[in-house]
Structure formats: C-alpha cells, structure tokens
Amino acid sequence: MGNGTSTSSGLLREPPTEPADSKESPKIPAVTILEEQEGDTVESLNVSLPEGIKITGGVKLRDQGYTGKGVKVAVIDSGVDKDHPGFNGKVVKQEWYRSGTPLSRDYHGTHVAGTVHLMAPDAEIYDYRVFGRSGEYSIDRAIALAIDQAIADGCAVINMSLGGPFPFGPIGAAVKRAYDAGIIVVCAAGNEGDDNPLTNEVSYPASYEECVSVAAVQKKDGLPVATFSSSNAQVDYSGIGVNVLSLQPGGGVLRLSGTSMACPHVCGFIACLLSKAKADERPDDEVITDDPTGGGFCGCCGDSAAANVVTNPKPRSDFGITDDASLRKVLNEKFLVDIGIKGPDNETGLGFLSYLSKDELMAILDTL
C-alpha cells in the first residue's frame, strides 16, 4: 500500500529475447536471484530452523499453535518441487501457465515456497507456475490467470516474488480482484537498489496499492537494509532477505538472497496469523460466485475459472483479521519493529515484521 514517505535500492534481471509463446503480451522479469551457495542437508532443517524463520518468530508461533493450519497459500513463481521431503506433502495443487513441465529447471519457486512452508508448516501450498523453461521471465496474462485461479481455489494469501518496472493492466486488475475478495497479496519490493536512500526504484506488482510490498534486510544487529533492496514510497514492511536458507529442487537446501526471499517470510508469517490456535472451525464467509475473466481459463485445461467474492467476511483468526485493512491494523499495532530511519521510510517501510518482542528479536540477533 505504501507508507507515504521516501528512501533505498535493488537489481531486476533484464528479460531475455521474447520467445514464440509470449508475443501477445508484455514480459515481466522475475525478481533477480542475487546470491546462491550450497547450504546444509535437508535433515538439518528438522533440527534447527533457518535463522530468518527464527528471527521472524517462527518458533514462538509454533509454540503457541499458530502454524498456518487451514490456510491456503498461493505461490505464483517458477514451479515447486512438491516431492521434496522438506514440504511434508503440503504442496497440494500445481497449475502451470507456460510451456514445459510443472517443475521448472529454475530453483526460485521451490526456495520461495520452502520459506513459506518453514514459516507456516501446516499451511497448504498452491503452486502456480508462470515462468518459462528458463524461469527468467513471464507474461502479464499468465500471471493474471494464476491470480484468478488462486481466487477460485480459495487461497487466503498470495506470494509473488516477481516484478518489473512498469504496471501491467491485466496484473493490476487481477490483483484488485484478489484484494476485493479479501485475499492478502504479498509481493517482493524489487532488487533495483543502488544503496542510495534518495532514489526511487518502483516495481510492480509490489507498488500497487492493494499489495503488501516487502523489502529485504540483513541478519545483523539493527537489521540493516540490504543494499540491493529497492526503495520507494510503496514499500510497506521488511523481512529477512540475505543469505536465506530454504529448499531446492531434487532435495537438499541452499542459500539465496533477494527481496524474493524476504517476501515469503512475511507471507508465511501472515498465514500463521490467519490460522487459529484453537481447534474450532471459523464460520464460512458468505460468497457470491462470479467469473471476473469473462470466460477465462485455468491455464492447463481451458476450463472456466469462477472466482469467489467475499460479501460478508468473518474473522479468519484469533486476531480478528478479515481482509487487508484489518491485517495491516494488527501488524502495525502488534508485530512491527521500527528499524532504519525512525518512523516510516522508503527503505524498510513501516518496519520489520516479527512475532517476537524487540528484546526477544535483538537477543536472537546477538547469537548470530
């Protein structure tokens, strides 16, 4: 939504030469993967959660029963290796909107979904693959179709660790439909940072008013902003985005950096807040069924995909969250740690999101 002030930085990959199957629509480049290195074995995740999960309060959330249970999370990305043992069978659906197999050769989507899962281990992950074989680009129509399918599938949160410098009409319209349906849309702020807080690096869809835009910070005392993280007035919050440990296709784990990695920390955190620690089921929302695409298709079979529009939302969680506005109120009042410049700023937004108190957070940072 934006914090109304100005300040930071990041680097988006230039799109490759347009392939034959994307000539009808503009391309939108993926948020760049800025760093990768070999990590630990997947077994290590069962013993000790990654640092970013701990800093965001993942252990405390689990201890209090907030695990994302009953929450559907859409990951719109480059494909997820659903058979990775680290997911524990929580990738429940896969759709794809580009040529090739559901599992891209690119590891971006599996890493992103892995962080969502490690933050919210009982959430169900819906994998919508919108990138081509290389995993480097997508088209606006594919992303819009994936968003509409996430609405139809009843997802409560959408993670989009992707972005480009210009607003694309179909994506913006689909984001608005998701927002109107009460879905939380979380997006990477972009990697166009130049380490200058006075420059303005805008990325879409993160800069749409209806999206939660997430910047990247480092796992250091004070949580300094990552030099690559884009700065603009639309940045809302920040998450851990440097040297992040998560899953990779084929088994095992690796470390990556980028606002792409910060985004799923926040997405998974929100999924936990939307779940209930109590065993009782929440009342169903009253919905009307509509087809916002005017006869669109789900991407893989050509069937019409109707979207559920919430008309009378009920509180989704113990925190009374019903939609984007109520979520932001809860985040700002309960789970915000001011970092960087005092008050809202264009580098870190309103601040860092964590389930920990500031003292608990700093105590963990002191051990890293």
Residue whose structure tokens are 């209806």: 210
The yes-or-no answer on residue 83 being catalytic is no
Amino acid at 61: L
> Phi and psi dihedrals of 109, rounded to 5?
-65, -40
- What is the C-alpha to C-alpha distance for residues 116 and 289, in angstroms, rounded to an integer? 28
And the tokens for 361? 């957070």
Contact 158, 324 (CB under 8 A): no
Give the 3-state secondary structure of 249-307.
CCCCEEEEECHHHHHHHHHHHHHHHHCCCCCCCCCCCEEEEECCCCCCCCCCCCCCCCE
Taking alpha carbons only, the member of 208, 214, 136, 127 closest to residue 172 is 208
- What is the C-alpha to C-alpha distance for residues 21 and 319, in angstroms, rounded to an integer? 45
3 state DSSP class of 92: strand
- What is the C-alpha to C-alpha distance for residues 274 and 256, in angstroms, rounded to an integer? 27
Which of 161, 238, 260, 275 is catalytic? The answer is 260
The yes-or-no answer on residue 304 being catalytic is no
Which of 78, 84, 108, 354 is catalytic? The answer is 108
- What is the C-alpha to C-alpha distance for residues 235 and 346, in angstroms, rounded to an integer? 6
3 state DSSP class of 158: strand
Which of 9, 22, 77, 153 is catalytic? The answer is 77
The yes-or-no answer on residue 265 being catalytic is no
The residues annotated as belonging to the active site are: 77, 108, 260
